[in-house]
Structure 1
Amino acid sequence: MRQKCEGERAPARAALRKLVLGWSLALWMQPAAGQVALPSAKPVPALQALPLPLEQISFEFQGRELTRYYYAQHVPRPFLYPVNGPAGRSLTRMGHPRDPQSHKHHNSVWVSHQNVNGANFWEDVATNQIVHLAVERLEDGAETAYAVVRNEWRSGGLPLLSERRRITVQLLGRGEWLLVLDLRFEPVKNPVTLGQTAFGFVGVRMAKTLGVRDGGGLMRNSAGGVNEAGCFRKPARWVDYSGAVTDTAREGITLMDHPSNFSHPTPFHVRDDGWMGAAATFGGERVITSETPLELRYGLYIHAGIPEAAEIDKVYERFVKMPRPDWREKGR
């Protein structure tokens, strides 16, 4: 009998708790008596590039983090982690799921190159480091936010390359968004040769559950190739890697090569183990001089579901038409 009474009272108690909580929230949100108005208050940007302690920048949409840029002096190279999809989970990871030690340089999304005047900036080589010098600009907005940073590529303590990088986040709706990396390289002193290699400039290490091998994911490219067998080192406008992020959610990332890049359509170095990278100098070396600086643009489309190729092409065209930085202006 007592259990029956308790069961009958439970809905009433739940309703009372809900009512009390509603009153509490209403009282908490009411303006204090005598509060001063802000007639000139400006709208708060929905998308923000927020500087954080310990040398980080968080890109947030209405308080929810989309990605974070790490540039501390003790890391071999800056990187972005997490890269959160519409379900709120990162679509990338730190390190290889089966070989974390020899692939510890696989830091989610990163920029590097295996052969810069013969120096290896791809793997973790103690004498070679991409060193952060300055944050030049941070901009918030309703649909777009970006950060401009300046880096220096040093080998044995000697600077080889000066790099300016703009990291842009743009909202697409439905929780989807674009991450755009604009890169400009100039030699610090003497000409720099980027040697022939499949490793450089942009790498993406996918979350384990999205990998073809570990999670039963799917990889495709703009030329119709499927998985490693059909996409490995093949030229394409884009490569998409999609898979499961929860038992019910499927999401992915499309890595896009801009038509203005010197190697376009670039070969993509991809693996079924959850890895994809744009191999700009796979076809041959590239020399950078003061008279011929190198500018590159790559995009990452963070999407819900597993879209048809035609839908990815639409986003690709939007990426192609996005305004380019004017590097002649400081912080642009």
Structure 2
Amino acid sequence: MFHKFRPIRRRWLFAVTACSVATFCGVPATSDAVEPVAPAERYTVETTDEGATIHLDGKLLTKYVAHSKSKPILWPLIGPGGAAVTRGYPMQDAIATEKADHPHHRSFWMTHGEVNGVDFWAEGEGKGQIVADGAPEVKGGENATLVAKHNWMAPDGKRVMADKWELTFGENDSQSWIDCVFSLTATDGDVVFGDTKEGSFGIRVAGTIKMDGEGKGSIVNAEGVKGKETWAKSSAWVDYYGPVEGKTQGIAILNHPSSFGYPTRWHVRSYGLFAANPFGVHHFIGGDETEGTLLPAGETLKLVYRVILHNGSTEAADIPAQWKAYSETTVE
């Protein structure tokens, strides 16, 4: 039977703190008063021909690429250590620590392997395409925001559904984060998300962070399960960390309790794939394939995550406390 979607009727409010302007008091009216100068913005953003770029303190943090082969992505993701924490291949040639496999694993993406029978996870002939619907809306300041809309197109050119990404970027001294709300809307009739492991919100970690081969990374989830045993488990969060240019760097994905399918199952692999999949069942727990998850025409479901790019191990970054604070975020 279908897993019937229950609509989420909450609105997320993202506050972007405005830069304050210094005020100058007590300057005599007859003096040559200096005009107040606003402090430099932490985040600067701009739209580009391929999407948008986001800089933090003048340094590249990430790029939104509206159409990378078959879907929108963020690439690269620069960690607090100043180096990329996601794989560069296939957007560039694979380096010595990277494996040139799974070319559809493109840094940071949101797709699914079976949507009304169309494969949006893999790439190539007969696969779906996720196409940008206009330019993204971006804003900088003390935080940065990016809102982008996309249409999920079948190989025959018909739209299957639409999505909206709402990303908010923040940071402190030891980590940065991206709050992600992916809204999936059945714009053109009922939508069925198929029961497959190939999904959904994915990240491919840097080659040195992975566990296999040249990698020296570690994986741990909220229950303390480690390594390959984290695959297929339901959990509120998973952390994947390892060495990057001599520093321990990690990526944690936290699943908010309001998110559809919470706590999500994890399609996380020792070779570097790191994906949250709320739709897959039988590949993960066995048994017969289900009929999937039905999203009725006109309805929207939300997948809600925080991605933390952090220094050090899970313990050093105190990911359990980070998830607790995130889980208590006010939702209206």
TM-score by length of 2: 0.79
CA drift of 1:136 comes to 4.9
Q: Which has the higher helix share?
A: 1
2:51–2:136 contact (8 Å) kept in structure 1: no
Partner in structure 1 of residue 72 of structure 2: 78
Mapping of 1:91-106 within 5 angstroms? 91-95=85-89, 100-101=100-101, 103-106=102-105
**Shift in CA distance, 84/310, structure 1 to aligned 2, threshold 3 Å:** closer
Q: What amino acid is the match of 1:181?
A: C
Question: Is 1:319 equivalent to 2:326 in the alignment?
Answer: yes
2:51–2:135 contact (8 Å) kept in structure 1: no
Among 40, 45, 52, the residue aligned to 2:41: 45
Aligned length: 283
CA drift of 1:40 comes to 5.8
CA drift of 1:94 comes to 3.6
1:205–1:274 contact (8 Å) kept in structure 2: yes
Question: Is 1:153 equivalent to 2:152 in the alignment?
Answer: yes
C-alpha distance in 1, partners of 2:191/2:313?
Answer: 40
**Shift in CA distance, 109/136, structure 1 to aligned 2, threshold 3 Å:** closer
Partner in structure 2 of residue 240 of structure 1: 239
2:87–2:98 contact (8 Å) kept in structure 1: no
Q: Secondary structure at the match of 1:147?
A: strand
Mapping of 1:51-200 within 5 angstroms? 51-52=47-48, 54-72=49-67, 75-95=69-89, 100-101=100-101, 103-127=102-126, 128-142=128-142, 144-156=143-155, 157-174=157-174, 176-200=175-199
1:200–1:279 contact (8 Å) kept in structure 2: yes
C-alpha distance in 2, partners of 1:194/1:202?
Answer: 13
CA drift of 1:141 comes to 2.2
1:113–1:122 contact (8 Å) kept in structure 2: yes
CA drift of 1:279 comes to 1.2
Q: What amino acid is the match of 1:164?
A: K
CA drift of 1:320 comes to 2.8
Q: Secondary structure at the match of 1:68?
A: strand
Q: Secondary structure at the match of 1:120?
A: coil
C-alpha distance in 2, partners of 1:95/1:161?
Answer: 28
Greater RCO, 1 or 2 (C-alpha within 8 Å, sep 6+):
2
Question: Is 1:262 equivalent to 2:260 in the alignment?
Answer: yes
Among 290, 303, 308, the residue aligned to 2:310: 303
Partner in structure 2 of residue 8 of structure 1: none
**Shift in CA distance, 69/38, structure 1 to aligned 2, threshold 3 Å:** farther
CA drift of 1:295 comes to 1.1
RMSD: 2.3
Partner in structure 1 of residue 277 of structure 2: 279
Runs of at least 5 residues in structure 1 that lack an aligned partner in the other structure: 1-35, 327-332
CA drift of 1:63 comes to 0.6
- Percent of residue pairs bearing the same amino acid type: 27
2:134–2:149 contact (8 Å) kept in structure 1: yes
Question: Is 1:293 equivalent to 2:289 in the alignment?
Answer: no
* 1:240-278 deviation line (CA, Å, top 9, x unaligned): 11100023x111100121111221111101111111110
2:99–2:207 contact (8 Å) kept in structure 1: no
2:186–2:299 contact (8 Å) kept in structure 1: no
TM-score by length of 1: 0.79
C-alpha distance in 1, partners of 2:218/2:233?
Answer: 16
Runs of at least 5 residues in structure 2 that lack an aligned partner in the other structure: 1-31, 91-96, 282-289
Work out which of the two has the higher radius of gyration on C-alpha atoms and give 1 or 2: 1
Question: Is 1:251 equivalent to 2:246 in the alignment?
Answer: no
C-alpha distance in 1, partners of 2:56/2:317?
Answer: 27
Q: What amino acid is the match of 1:124?
A: E
